[in-house]
Every structure is written in C-alpha cells, then in structure tokens.
Structure 1
Amino acid sequence: MSSTNTPSTPSASVSESRAMSSTAPVSAASPLPLRAKVPPAQPMKRHDPQDADSPVVLTFFEKATCTWQYIIYDPKSLEAVIVDSVLDYDPPSGAVTTKTADGLLSYIEENGLKIKKILETHAHADHLTAAQYLKQQLGGDVSVGIGQRIGQVQKTFAPVYGYDDPAVFENTFDHYFKDDETFKLGDLSCQVVHLPGHTPDHVGYVIGKAIFTGDSIFNPDVGSARCDFPGGNAQDLFASMQRLLSYPADYRLFVGHDYPVDRDTLCSTTVGEQRESNKHVKVGTEEDSFVEWRRTRDAVLGAPRLLHPSLQVNIRAGKLPPADDKGRVWFKTPAKTELKL
C-alpha cells in the first residue's frame, strides 16, 4: 500500500478576536494577540493539599474530547503550572478557536495565579494542545515542557505530515525533561517520571501526594489506554501502571481523560483504590494476561477522531502547521491506496 499526504479542507485561522500566530514565536518586543474576554472557567473540583508538600489542584473537564485539564499551584506563593490544556477544533468547519483556553486564562487572572510552566504529559492524539497559545497570552518567561523522548515522536511523524525541514521544530518546546528530573513550584518540589506504553515519550508529574498520570492509567472502571500508536507497547504500559501502583496508598492519581458510564465524571482516585479495583491491572493481575488482552482490544479500535490534526499540532508544542505562501493553514490527512487515479 502506498501512502501519500493530501491536504484536507483548510483549517480556519483563529478568529480575529483571538488571533494566534501559527509560525513565529512571540518575543518580548512583539505585541501579544488580542484575546476575547470570556468568563472564568469554573473548576469541576478543587483538591486542597493533602500535606505541606502537596499543591492545590483545580480540575477542568473539556467535554468534547473528554480531557482533564489541570491548574496546580503552591498555596503560599501562588506559583502555578498548567497540565494538558486543550485548543478547540471543529473538524467540519475547520475552525480553531480558544474559548476553552480563554476560560482558563480568565480564571488565572481573576485569582492572581502566577503561571510558571505549561506541561504536557505526551504528544496527544485525541486533542490539540493550547500550550503555545497560553504561552503567548501569558507572556514573560513561561515555558512549555515535555519529556525528552518527544524527539522520537517528532522523528516518526515528521515525514507523515511533510515536516521535512528540521527547522519546523525549532522554538517549539522550551524544556525537555529528563527521567526523574525535578523542578520547584514555589516551595513545592516536582518530579518528572517516565511512564511509557501509551506513547514512548509519556511522562507523569509527581507533586507531593498528587500524581498527574496523563494516559498512563485511567480511573478503575475505565482501566488503561491503548498502546497501538507508533512506539506504544503493552508491556511498557503494564510496567508504568505498576510503577504508579507502587506509590503509597493515599497518593492521588489525576488522570488525563475520563469516559464515565452510569456515574459522574471523575478526575482521580487514590493508589489504594486503583490497586483494589482497576479493571485491567488491580493487584494480582498477571502481565501476560494484560498484554494479551490489551493487544486484542487495540486491534479492533478505530483511529481517534482528531488523530491527524492533533499530532500535527502537538509535536510542535501547539503551533499550527506553517502557512502556505498565501497565508493559508492546512491540516494534512495521509491517504493509503493502491489506486492510480
């Protein structure tokens, strides 16, 4: 089967009231794009610190992609990070807009939070990250960080989407976290942990007794994420989930998505609850049985609805594809066919 890249319907640029550069980074001397003032997003839940080493966690659920976004801050200094933000995208119209991100920004402004970093757990395949837009709007020295193995993912998908010039990845991510690297959030210490399996670049963030797991584990009745993307691996995912379950029982795991059936939407459970009832890896689950089940399940799953737009944006830290010579922005959809038409 041959594979070619064909342009799909051009994506609409961000609306004039929410203009965003798709190529050039914003420098301190550049005027920031205008942002529509929207009401502050309201957290679905506020988790107060479990101890002096833990942060305040604010949870925001983005319904279109079932994604949990997090604002995490040190209650003393009000220094904060954002984890796994969402840029709105409507495939039929091609509209890329910022209502969800603007709600977060309004909340941040209203509550006097000082954003220091915008963090990604991995290169998502089911939603577009708002990291670059948030960075532009926040200004200052806010950085966008991800695990160091994002380079492997960029190398895999660059030829798929015609990113043949390595320069397209310059000035995208600001920091590439090493395994077990630490950084400060006010008085709090944060650790980056490598959690491969769903994707090879996947990391989690441990801040006190709060762990932000991305797609390395889901709530107990949802279980685990797929492993069939390039570089994904069911054995690695099992090991990553076991690593998370090895933390003390009262640590809280904040997940990247939730897909509830007959219950309210949940952002987290404790390690103890996961050990007892995670449908895929509770205590006593054998690795071989998990791997066999995960591979069988993944073999019949369809591609995520926003797969190609998401990857084109997310491997570039939230930058839209470079505009053509007429200023048009296009998302590419690879086509596989033996037809010669």
Structure 2
Amino acid sequence: MTDSPLATATAQILKAEREPGLKPVVKTFFDETTFTASHVVHDPSTKTAVIIDSVLDYEAASGRTKHTSAEQIVAYVKAEGLSVAWQLETHAHADHLSAAPWLQEQLGGKLGIGADIVRVQEVFGKIFNAGTPFARDGSQFDHLFRDGDQFKVGALDAIALHVPGHTPADMAFIIGDAAFIGDTLFMPDYGTARADFPGGDARMLFRSIRRLLSLPDQTRLFLCHDYKAPGRDTFAWETTVGAERAGNIHVYDGAQEDEFVQMRTTRDAKLSLPNLIMPSVQINMRGGHMPEPEENGVSYIKIPINKL
C-alpha cells in the first residue's frame, strides 16, 4: 500500500530544496529547566508564523506560573514583524506545561494538536478523576489534525503526519523542508523517546520513526528535547534524516524492530517519571488551560496516590 501522506511530504520537501524561498526560517528557544526546545517557524515571504511546543514556566514547590520563556517568543515575533497563524502541540507533553493559551492572547493563532488527543484525554481523565465537566472530545483545541492533513503557513506547504508510540497522539508537522517531530527521536547520540506512558507503545514508536526516516536525507529535523548525551557539552535540537539514519544509537539503518522493542522496554522500566508529569498532563490535556477553579476561585492540581 502506498503511504500517500509520506509521498506528499517527500514531494513537498524536494520542492523546497529546488526553491529556497519555500524553506522556512526557524528560531528555537531552549528551556534548560525542562530541556524543551520551542520553535518559531515562519515563511520569509509573508512573515506568517507558527509556534510549536511552547513552555509555561512552573515552579513545583509553590505551584506558581510565570511567562518568562513565552515572553522571549513574544519579543522575537514582534521584533521580526511576524503574524502567528498557529500554536501547534506535537503531543500532550508530560514534562512541561504549554504556554499556548497565553501566547494566543498575546499573538493570536489557532491551537492545534493530533486528533488522537481524545484517547489521551480519556485515559488521563480517568487517572486524574477529572469528572464529567472535563470534555474528552478535543474541544479545548481549535483544530485536531489527522494523518495527511495539509495546510499552509503563508506561501509554505505544510503537512501533518501521525507518529504514535511515545503517546497515541504524537504528530510531526512538516513545513517546507523542516520536520518538527516532537518526542519521537532525539539527537543521534542520545537515541529515542520513551514509550511507557499510558497509551505508549515501543513497537509503534519504532514504526513511526522508520516512517519519518523514509523522508529525504536532507530533511531538517527539529526536536522537542535534548539532554546532552555523555561526552557532549552543548545542547542541540536540529539534525537531519540522513544523520539519524546513519548514526542514531537506537534506530540506525539496519536496527531491528524486535531488538528495539526489547531495548526500549527494558530501558523504560528503569526510568523515573518526569518531574512535572502531574501538573503537565492535567494542564496539557486541557489545551494548556488550568482546571476549572473551585468555589474559592483557585485551580488545583491533583496528585493520584500509588496510581502511576
């Protein structure tokens, strides 16, 4: 069976290679506290922009939020004269809170995520006992992307690819020749994302990664996280399909699916949960919005005891 979305993405990337004006400009903002790379992507001809995987600063000890990281994005967008069309989330993150609603207030743009966010909402809605007021239909978002959905960023072609495994709802957004792949791959020297969260699947992750690595070698890949592999002193968040195929320590060309699944499952069993998983998932499954305030006007994060 022909993978039509992949073929469309490949044609789009090759077209951008032939016509440099169809390559997006990418500015990355890296939050060392959560090791998260947020990307501002824009069309150089129309100045239309997309913000991908933004970060809301959160102090776990006090439960207070700040907009320091997001304010850097606002300053850049305004300085460059950009017009924001989309606030995109590659998935419902478990390691940082999204700043998308606040950025929408400052800059506009529709909030989009993968359509399978409804599966994540169903699973975590039960885990956190969110109750009937919490909608599990994705309505907290302006648009739910499905595999192969095409859209425009100014004059640039863009397409969404469903790449589940880390979570059921992970999406890669390919804009021009640049692919924003969330938590699927890390830099070649660090490997791949975990697949042990509820709804995760190591075998599915391997197949999603191989799908991404079927794109042209020159495709620019922008990652959501970096943790500095042993022996590397600087953070990095940009690589290429060719570099990943040649040197990713987990999924290099020739890596076998069964061996990957065994490695990933064994490795994941030894990992601690992310420090901010409790607040992050509860906020991000709501599109970055806080839970409804209680009768005293305060929003609360729940901590399920002995559940996760």
Q: Which of residues 223, 237, 246 in structure 1 aligns to 2:205? A: 237
Once residues 306 and 72 of structure 1 are traced to their aligned partners in structure 2, the CA distance between those partners, rounded to angstroms, is 26
| 1:18 matched residue in structure 2 | none
CA distance in 1, matches of 2:219, 2:234: 21
Q: CA deviation at 1:168?
A: 4.7
> Whose RCO is larger (CA < 8 A, sep 6+)?
1
| Contact preservation (8 Å) 2:97, 2:288 | yes
CA deviation vs aligned residue, 1:281-328 (integer Å, no higher than 9, x gap): 001101111000000001111111000100010001100111111111
- Compute the displacement of 1:193 (Å): 0.2
Residue identity (%): 44
Say whether 1:264 aligns with 2:231.
no
The equivalent residue for 2:248 is 278
Question: 1:318 and 2:285 equivalent?
Answer: no
| C-alpha displacement of 1:265 | 1.2
Distance in 2 (CA, whole Å) between partners of 1:210 and 1:123 is 21
| Superposed counterparts of 1:91-170, under 5 Å | 91-139=60-108, 142-168=109-135
Q: Is 2:195–2:202's contact at 8 Å kept on the other side of the alignment?
A: yes
CA positional deviation for 1:171: 5.2
Kept after mapping to 2: 8 A contact 1:210/1:252: yes
Deviations 1:15-47 (A, max 9, x none): xxxxxxxxxxxxxxxxxxxxxxxxxxxxxxxxx
Q: Which sections of structure 1, spanning at least 5 residues, go unmatched? A: 1-48
Rounded Cα–Cα distance in structure 2 between residues aligned with 1:115 and 1:243: 29
Pairwise CA distance, 1:209: 1.4
Tell me the distance in 2 between the aligned counterparts of 1:161 and 1:96: 21
Measured in 1, the distance between the counterparts of 2:200 and 2:34 equals 21
Contact in 2 for aligned 1:72/1:82 (Cα 8 Å): yes
Write out per-residue CA displacement over residues 102-133 of structure 1, whole angstroms, 9 at most, x where no aligned residue.
Answer: 11111111211000000000000000000111
Matched positions, count: 287
Higher helix share: 2
What is aligned with 2:53?
A: 84
CA contact (8 A) 1:122 1:150 kept: yes
Q: Alignment partner for residue 250 of structure 1, among 189, 213, 218?
A: 218
The DSSP-based 3-state class of the residue aligned with 2:121 is: helix
* Deviation by residue 1:234-256 (Cα, 9 ceiling, x = unmatched): 11100011011111111111111
Q: Give the distance between the partners of 1:244 and 1:259, measured in 2 at CA.
A: 21
- What is the 5 A alignment of 1:1-341? 51-139=20-108, 142-168=109-135, 172-260=140-228, 261=230, 262-336=232-306
Q: 2:23·2:156 contact (CA, 8 Å) conserved in 1?
A: yes
* Counterpart residue number, 1:9: none
Q: What letter is aligned with 1:200?
A: P
TM-score by length of 2: 0.90
Instruction: Report SS of the residue matched to 1:107.
Output: helix
CA distance in structure 1 between the aligned counterparts of 2:117 and 2:52, rounded to whole angstroms? 16
Cα contact 1:53–1:207 (8 A) shared by 2: no
Instruction: Provide the C-alpha distance between the structure 2 equivalents of 1:171 and 1:272, rounded to a whole number of angstroms.
Output: 38
**Mapped partners of 1:182, 1:171: distance in 2:** 20
Encode CA deviations 1:72-96: one digit per residue, 9 max, x unaligned.
0000000000000000001011111
Work out whether residues 22 and 43 of structure 2, in 8 Å CA contact, stay in contact via their aligned partners in 1. no
CA contact (8 A) 2:21 2:44 kept: no
Aligned to 1:31: none
After TM superposition, give the deviation of residue 159 of structure 1 in Å. Answer: 2.1
Residues 67 and 258 in structure 1, CA contact (< 8 A), matched pair in contact too: yes
CA RMSD, aligned part only? Answer: 1.4
For 1:185 and 1:211, how far apart are their aligned partners in 2? 13
**Aligned CA distance change for structure 1 residues 166 and 322 (closer, same or farther; 3 Å):** closer
TM-score (norm 1): 0.82
Using a 3 Å threshold, how does the CA distance of structure 1 residues 226 and 167 change in structure 2: closer, same or farther? closer
Looking at structure 2, the residues matched to 134 and 208 of structure 1 have their Cα atoms a distance apart, in angstroms, of 24
Write the letter of the residue equivalent to 2:279.
Answer: P
Deviations along 1:43-72, one digit per CA (max 9) or x if unpaired, are: xxxxxx862322111111111000000000
Give the whole-Å Cα distance in 2 for the aligned partners of 1:106 and 1:321.
28
- In structure 2, runs of 5+ residues without a counterpart are 1-15
- Runs of 4 or more off by more than 6 Å in structure 1? none
CA distance in structure 2 between the aligned counterparts of 1:225 and 1:160, rounded to whole angstroms: 22
* Per-residue deviation, residues 252-279 of structure 1 (Å, max 9, x unmatched): 1111100114232111111111111000
1:214 counterpart SS class: coil
